[in-house]
């Protein structure tokens, strides 16, 4: 395996836990690594520090994937990592099936984001190293999570810094444009094709829940009101905007109960632009 030798005068950020090696920190490259290849990261004295993947086109030339020597980023490698991710996430989300499964550098998988929307996964491949591992990533996710579909949302400009084009599309199975998840007792419709980033901001879960008891207003300032509609022979009360169109994205679907006060509470919680606040 090729090696990247770090400059003796660099700051010791890697030893302190930082996952990136910048081009300016590299003194020499031993071997002939190709873009996306795994390399050993060595200090100026030849001591092994970490393993990472290499891209000379990027200012972030090496991204760390392990502090141990590894030979391949293949199906077994990703399957083991995804099992670890699943174990960590289940500690905090309990029985919910809508959450961020892979957090990139935080899971020692830099450049990879995976969000779970019940039976559908949405992935972002942000770097060349991860882009080259697309097939192994998909096959490992299928083995570990057994989703009905995997959709790619690598439509972000940061890929261009890695010499990559933006891309989207179905990688596995069936991926409907809109998926429904449950968060804090509410059913939420998410557009995984065109919603921001992967379609939904899971990192705001606790923030959305925390504002509910503080909101006493109504969505009138935003033109939101309840209107009765017939759906499949059943009369339902749904929120509509000023144009009379149903509000379905990003924070609304019918709660799991039909109580009108629950619907109003949901609207007060989810629409921050209200008429008054406590």
Question: For 220-243, how does the pLDDT look when each residue is reduced to its tens digit (9 = 90+)?
Answer: 545 666 778 787 888 877 777 767
DSSP string, 37-61: -EEEEE-TTS-EEEEEEE-TTSSEE
* Cα 18 to Cα 14: distance, rounded to the nearest angstrom: 5
Q: For the chain, give every domain's residue range.
A: 3-66, 75-208, 217-248
* Cα 67 to Cα 14: distance, rounded to the nearest angstrom: 10
* Cα 105 to Cα 120: distance, rounded to the nearest angstrom: 22
- Write the pLDDT tens digit of every residue in 35-66: 999 999 999 999 999 999 999 999 999 999 99
Tokens of 39: 């390399």
**Class of residue 139 by CB neighbours under 10 A (exposed 0-12, middle 13-18, buried 19+):** middle
- Out of 12-16, 26-30, 81-85, 203-207, least confident range: 203-207
- Write the pLDDT tens digit of every residue in 97-116: 889 999 999 999 999 999 99
The model's confidence at residue 248, banded by pLDDT at 50, 70 and 90, is low
Asked if 32 contacts 1 with a C-beta cutoff of 8 angstroms, the reply is: no
Specify the CATH number of the domain 75-208: 3.30.750.80
Domain 75-208 in the same topology as domain 3-66: no
Q: Please tell me the pTM assigned to this model.
A: 0.76
- Give the total residue count for the chain: 278
Q: Of 122, 121, 124, nearest to 154 (Cα)?
A: 124
- Architecture per CATH, domain 3-66, reads as Roll (2.30)
Alpha helix segments (H runs only) across the chain: 75-93, 128-131, 134-145, 205-210, 260-270
The model's confidence at residue 195, banded by pLDDT at 50, 70 and 90, is confident
Instruction: Give the three-state DSSP class for 157.
Output: helix
């Amino acid at each position: 395996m090729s090696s990247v030798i770090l400059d003796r005068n660099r700051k010791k950020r890697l030893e302190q836990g930082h996952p990136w090696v910048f081009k300016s920190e590299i003194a020499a490259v031993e071997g002939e690594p190709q873009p996306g290849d795994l390399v050993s990261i060595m200090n100026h004295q030849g001591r092994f520090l970490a393993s990472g993947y290499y891209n000379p086109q990027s200012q972030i030339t090496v991204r760390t994937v392990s502090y141990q020597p590894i030979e391949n980023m293949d199906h077994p490698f990703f399957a083991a990592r995804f099992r670890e991710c699943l174990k960590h996430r289940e500690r905090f989300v309990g029985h919910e099936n809508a959450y961020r499964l892979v957090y990139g550098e935080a899971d020692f998988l830099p450049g990879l984001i995976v969000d779970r929307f019940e039976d559908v996964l949405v992935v972002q491949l942000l770097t060349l190293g991860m882009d080259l591992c697309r097939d192994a990533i998909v096959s490992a996710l299928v083995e570990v999570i057994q989703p009905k579909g995997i959709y790619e949302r690598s439509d972000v400009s940061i890929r261009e810094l890695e010499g990559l084009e933006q891309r989207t599309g179905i990688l596995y199975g069936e991926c409907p444009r809109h998926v429904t998840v449950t968060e804090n007792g509410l059913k939420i419709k998410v557009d995984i094709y065109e919603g921001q980033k992967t379609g939904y901001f899971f990192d705001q879960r606790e923030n959305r829940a925390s504002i509910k008891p503080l909101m006493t207003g109504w969505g009138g300032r935003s033109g939101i009101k309840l209107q009765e509609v017939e759906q499949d022979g059943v009369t339902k009360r749904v929120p509509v905007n000023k144009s009379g169109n149903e509000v379905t994205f990003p924070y609304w679907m019918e709660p799991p109960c039909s109580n009108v006060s629950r619907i109003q509470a949901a609207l007060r919680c989810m629409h921050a632009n209200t008429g008054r606040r406590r």
